[in-house]
């Protein structure tokens, strides 16, 4: 069953009560979150007229504060982000129910492009990335999470992080005549799969590529999303390509690129708000701003309404491949602006 069905009006009606209820749930169960909202003057019985009216947390808060809505005894899994220099790493706490829900909803989202069958899978990574199963890096969590949706996994990189060309050739000889799944982080997919496939004239035409991650390294090589798709199509035959946007602070929620490319879509349990970085009001379609991501999934920690440190633009509403808002990510905020978002809340949580 598709999770890309709700128009924007239906989404507001469906999600707003759930998100307001989650806000209260986290206030009741997370002392730090309650302190933040109280210091901002948000009453416990506050009502919200729209999703854009809900109070947001800067995503950076999870790097500087332990925020959870479950007792320590119920922590089933702790996820950590790959902290950038000086920023530390986010810590995200899941209980069993939360871990199950994020896996289920990630599966429902990806089913839109993968279908119901688990496909043979090329992992553009090394098997070493998933060795520690209790505490994962963001990359390891991504790889292990996606591994659930494939079978007959073949890793493109050997234990020395070098392309294993023979392993890829063997995989394609065995499974390449029918649909197969490819997963990796965008820069690694380009460097270790595209460049190898082009050099060795490998046929990836039956592949379905799911990829994500920063584009900065590729932009430095003059490769944007359009060029990425064009070159894969021309040099390897691969046309079914879906970028996605997600983060460990909202694990299980991914905003998936539609079949047409160049726009990301919200599953029915999520939404996006683009905010003016000076007024924090919601930006109209076509006006860039700071991306806020909204999801009903986070129950074990207050991550349901998060202001990211990314710039984006809403490309349209109810006029794309799937209903609802569709948007593009334009890159990271300049560091000073990112700190500005966070400083708004920093004193409150101290």
* pLDDT given at position 335: 67
The mean predicted confidence, pLDDT, of the chain is 86
Mean pLDDT of 251-256: 91
Q: Which of the two residues, 273 and 141, has the higher pLDDT score?
A: 273
In tens, the pLDDT along 9-45 reads 999 999 999 999 999 999 999 999 999 999 999 988 8
For residues 286 and 343, the answer to whether their CB atoms sit within 8 Å is no
pLDDT at residue 217 tops 80: no
Q: Is the pLDDT of residue 220 over 80?
A: no
Q: Which of 139, 206, 135 is nearest to 175 (CA)?
A: 206
pLDDT in tens, 140-159: 666 766 777 888 989 998 88
Q: If 0-12 CB within 10 Å is exposed, 13-18 middle and 19+ buried, where does residue 347 land?
A: exposed
Q: Which residues make beta-bridge pairs with 50?
A: none
DSSP string spanning 116-155?
Answer: SSPEEEEEES-GGGG--SSEE-HHHHHHHHHHTTEEEEEE
Given a cut of 80, whether residue 110 has pLDDT beyond it is yes
- For 330, the 3-state DSSP assignment is strand
Q: What is the pLDDT of residues 52-93, one digit of tens each?
A: 999 999 998 888 888 999 998 998 888 887 654 445 788 888
Place of tokens 């992992």: 123
The two structure tokens encoding residue 289: 């701003």
Whole-structure pTM value: 0.85
More confident site: 125 or 349? 125
* Both structure tokens of 286: 């076509």
Q: What's the mean pLDDT in 193-209?
A: 94
Query: What's the pLDDT band for 115 if we cut at 50, 70, 90?
Result: confident
Token pair for residue 263?
């726009």
Cα(66)–Cα(15) distance, rounded to whole angstroms? 26
Q: What's the number of CA atoms in the CB half-sphere (13 Å) around residue 279? A: 6
Residue 129 has pLDDT above 80, yes or no: no
Q: Which residue has the higher pLDDT, 232 or 346?
A: 232
The confidence score (pLDDT) of residue 140 equals 65
The H or E element that residue 182 is part of is strand 180-185
Exposure b/e, 199-210, CB count within 10 A at least 16 = b: eeebebebbbbb
Checking if the pLDDT of 340 tops 50, the result is no
Distance CA 235, CA 239 (A): 11
Burial class of residue 41 in the structure, from the number of CB atoms within 10 Å of its CB (0-12 exposed, 13-18 middle, 19+ buried): exposed
């Amino acid at each position: 069953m598709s999770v890309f069905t709700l128009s924007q009006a239906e989404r507001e009606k469906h999600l707003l009560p759930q998100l307001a209820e989650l806000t209260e749930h986290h206030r009741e169960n997370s002392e730090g979150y309650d302190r933040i909202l109280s210091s901002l003057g948000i009453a416990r019985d506050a009502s919200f007229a729209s999703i854009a009216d809900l109070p947001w947390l800067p995503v950076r808060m999870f790097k500087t504060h332990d925020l959870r809505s479950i007792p320590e005894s119920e922590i089933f899994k702790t996820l950590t982000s790959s902290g950038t220099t000086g920023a530390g790493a986010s810590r995200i706490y899941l209980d069993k129910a939360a871990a199950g829900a994020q896996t289920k909803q990630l599966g429902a989202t990806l089913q839109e492009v993968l279908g119901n069958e688990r496909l043979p899978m090329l992992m553009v990574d090394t098997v070493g990335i998933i060795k520690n199963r209790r505490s994962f890096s963001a990359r390891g969590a991504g790889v292990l999470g996606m591994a659930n949706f494939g079978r007959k996994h073949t890793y493109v990189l050997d234990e020395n992080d070098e392309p294993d060309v023979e392993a890829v050739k063997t995989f394609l000889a065995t499974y390449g005549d029918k649909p197969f799944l490819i997963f990796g982080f965008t820069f690694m997919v380009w460097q270790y799969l595209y460049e190898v496939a082009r050099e060795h004239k490998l046929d990836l035409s039956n592949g379905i590529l799911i990829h994500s991650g920063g584009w900065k390294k590729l932009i430095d090589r003059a490769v944007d999303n359009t060029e990425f798709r064009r070159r894969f199509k021309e040099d390897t035959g691969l046309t079914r390509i879906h970028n996605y946007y997600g983060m460990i602070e909202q694990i299980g929620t991914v905003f998936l690129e539609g079949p047409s490319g160049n726009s990301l879509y919200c599953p029915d349990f999520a939404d996006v708000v683009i905010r003016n970085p000076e007024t924090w009001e919601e930006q109209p379609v076509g006006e860039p701003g700071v991306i806020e991501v909204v999801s009903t999934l986070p129950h074990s920690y207050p991550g349901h309404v998060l202001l990211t440190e990314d710039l984006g633009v809403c490309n349209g509403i109810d006029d794309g491949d799937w209903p609802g808002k569709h948007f593009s990510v334009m890159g990271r905020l300049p560091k000073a602006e990112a700190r500005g978002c966070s400083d708004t809340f920093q004193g409150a949580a101290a």
